[in-house]
Amino acid sequence: MLYCLINTKSQIENEMRKLFYSIIALLIALHTFAQEVAKTGIKNTEYDLIKKISIKNLEKDTYIKDGGFVLDNSAQPYVFKFSDGLERRIYVYKVMEATNMSEIANLMVFTTPKNGKQIPLVVPNPLAEKEVWGKYIDDLKEGEKTIMGFSSCIAFVMAKEFSGVSGDKSKDEDKYEYCFPGNAMVTMADGSLKEISRVKVGESVLSYNLATNSVEGTLVEKVEVHEHSQFPLTMLSLIDPNSMIEATLNASRYDLKFLEATANHPILTTKGTSKMGDVKVGDVLFFYEKEANTVSEFNVFSAHKDNRMVEKVYNLITQKDNYFVNSIVVQKK
């Protein structure tokens, strides 16, 4: 009986894999024929050459010329978070022939930033040579063997990129940028303040332990920088609720604290994690008071979306779940 159950499960998994690969191929075909983007099919030899193209910095290398090919990526990566704590990302490049700029394929680079692992997947169009499709299917299978979640992440990106339902990415609510302006002040582990644009990998910043209501240091593992775009910022102002007792209607007399970030950056509230753009007047955030070395609850006094636009934004990846920006607890994306 046990053997039969295992065998049945194996058959189901095999059928699901076949269905997955069929759906992937169908999405590519629909996208390409509907939009008439590619006029040339990728050749067997080209497939191998594209896989070997080295991209040293996925964040910055958005336009690459290598041999007879041009790689072009104008969008932010897709970011996935699994229960194992390992972040997965996929960067999508258009692949064109350098001579006539005819699009022949897409290159998806699957990566786990924490360990630097990269898996390139060349996605052909329906005009590709027959041998290419066999290599493509083999690479899909090998990717899933290499790291759990590869197939599901690829399937999600395929649906967003090739199904025609994602629309204009510039209008998508989640643009994958979770960042602060360069002049945002980060509280370092020694209590000093430093502009986020000047914080370096390996430095220690202050973080908040919600369980013990105490502060502690955490190391910066990565500094993310996004530029060459217009990033709208949401601005929150906070006030110590104790000062409200003697407050007047004149807001200029309040000792307000300010925080700016992209609308989708997560911050910690007394109700749990919330996006900057979803925070409302009256919500309660956590503010670090240096002299007392304590974290206090401050009320949101005002919230303004699209407060201003900046061309360059920053984000820190730390060992712990949060850090302080303008003395306010924010969470890493």
The pLDDT assigned to 209 comes to: 93
Rounded Cα gap, residues 258 and 184, in angstroms: 10
Low-confidence ranges of the chain (pLDDT < 50): 1-9, 12, 29-39, 164-176, 247-252
The pLDDT assigned to 16 comes to: 54
The pLDDT assigned to 30 comes to: 46
Contacts of 252 (CB under 8 A, 6+ apart): none
Q: If you count them, how many residues does the chain have?
A: 333
**Residue with tokens 């104008």, as numbered in its chain:** 74
Rounded Cα gap, residues 190 and 187, in angstroms: 8
Rounded Cα gap, residues 204 and 81, in angstroms: 24
The pLDDT assigned to 7 comes to: 43
The pLDDT assigned to 242 comes to: 80
Rounded Cα gap, residues 3 and 291, in angstroms: 67
The pLDDT assigned to 32 comes to: 44
For the purposes of burial, counting CB atoms within 10 Å of the CB of 221, is it exposed (0-12), middle (13-18) or buried (19 or more)? middle
- Kindly report, residue by residue over 15-24, the tens digit of the pLDDT: 555 555 555 5
Helices and strands (H, E) in the chain, number of each type: 4, 18
- Kindly report, residue by residue over 203-258, the tens digit of the pLDDT: 999 999 999 999 999 999 999 888 866 788 999 999 998 876 554 444 445 688 99
The pLDDT assigned to 144 comes to: 87
DSSP, residue by residue, 30-90: HHHHHHT---SPPPHHHHHHHHT---S-TTT--EEEETTEEEE--SPPEEEE-TTS-EEEE
Rounded Cα gap, residues 193 and 200, in angstroms: 13
CA atoms within 13 A on the CB side of 79: 14
Mean of per-residue pLDDT scores for the chain:
81
The residue among 105, 86, 88 whose CA lies nearest residue 97 is 105
**Residue with tokens 């924010």, as numbered in its chain:** 330
Token readout for 142 is: 């090998």
3-state DSSP call for residue 184? Answer: coil
The residue among 231, 205, 154, 159 whose CA lies nearest residue 321 is 205
Q: Domains along the chain? A: 17-164 (no CATH), 180-331 (2.170.16.10)
DSSP, residue by residue, 253-286: GS--EEEEEETT-EEEETTEEEEGGG--TT-EEE
The residue among 254, 107, 261 whose CA lies nearest residue 196 is 261
